[in-house]
Copies of this chain bind each other. A is one copy, B any other.
Amino acid sequence: MTMRATGVEGVRRANLGAVLRLVHHAGPRSRAVITAETGLNRSTVSDLVATLAGAGLVEEREPDPTRRVGRPSPIVAPSDDVVAIAVNPEVDALEVGAVTLGGRVRVRAREGVDRPVEVDDVAASVARIVADWSGGPLRGCRIVGGGAAVPGLVRARDGVVRLAPHLGWREQDVAGALAQATGVAFAVGNDASLGARAERLFGAARDHADVVYLNGGASGIGGGLILHGVAIGGADGYAGEWGQNRAGIVLESDRRTAEGMLEDEVNRSRLLAAAGVTAADDAALALALSESTDGAARAEMDRQRRILAATLANAVNVLNPSVIVLGGFLAILRDSDPDGLLAAVRAQALDAPGEGLDIRAAALGADRLLIGAAEAAFEQLLADPLG
Q: List residues of chain A with CB under 8 Å of any chain B CB.
A: 1-8, 10-11, 14-15, 18, 22, 26, 37-40, 153, 155, 162-163, 208-210, 223, 225, 227-228, 230, 232-242, 244-250, 252, 258-260, 310, 313-315, 317-322, 348-353, 355-356
Report yes or no: B317 in contact with A242, Cβ–Cβ below 8 A. Answer: yes
CB of A54, distance to nearest CB on chain B (Å): 20
CB of A154, distance to nearest CB on chain B (Å): 9
CB of A200, distance to nearest CB on chain B (Å): 13
Report yes or no: B2 in contact with A6, Cβ–Cβ below 8 A. Answer: no
CA–CA, A163 and B241, complex, Å: 31
| B-chain residues with CB within 8 Å of residue A232 when the two chains form the complex | 227-228, 319
Report yes or no: B18 in contact with A314, Cβ–Cβ below 8 A. Answer: no
Given the interface pairs A1-B37, A240-B318, A356-B235, the reply to whether A11 lies near B7 with Cβ below 8 Å is yes
Given the interface pairs A244-B350, A260-B248, A350-B241, the reply to whether A234 lies near B6 with Cβ below 8 Å is no
CB of A59, distance to nearest CB on chain B (Å): 22
Counting every copy of the chain, the complex holds 2
Report yes or no: B248 in contact with A37, Cβ–Cβ below 8 A. Answer: no
Top 8 closest A-B pairs, CB basis? Answer: A234-B320, A246-B248, A235-B322, A239-B320, A238-B353, A241-B317, A238-B320, A245-B314
CA–CA, A209 and B353, complex, Å: 25
**Interface SS, A side:** loop
- What are 7 contact pairs spanning A and B, CB under 8 A? A6-B18, A235-B353, A235-B356, A236-B352, A239-B353, A241-B317, A244-B350
CA–CA, A350 and B6, complex, Å: 39
Given the interface pairs A37-B2, A163-B351, the reply to whether A235 lies near B321 with Cβ below 8 Å is yes
Report yes or no: A319 in contact with B246, Cβ–Cβ below 8 A. Answer: no
Report yes or no: B18 in contact with A14, Cβ–Cβ below 8 A. Answer: no
| B-chain residues with CB within 8 Å of residue A7 when the two chains form the complex | 11
CB of A217, distance to nearest CB on chain B (Å): 17
Report yes or no: A230 in contact with B233, Cβ–Cβ below 8 A. Answer: no
Given the interface pairs A6-B39, A8-B8, A353-B238, the reply to whether A318 lies near B225 with Cβ below 8 Å is yes
Closest to A212 in B: B318
Closest to A240 in B: B318
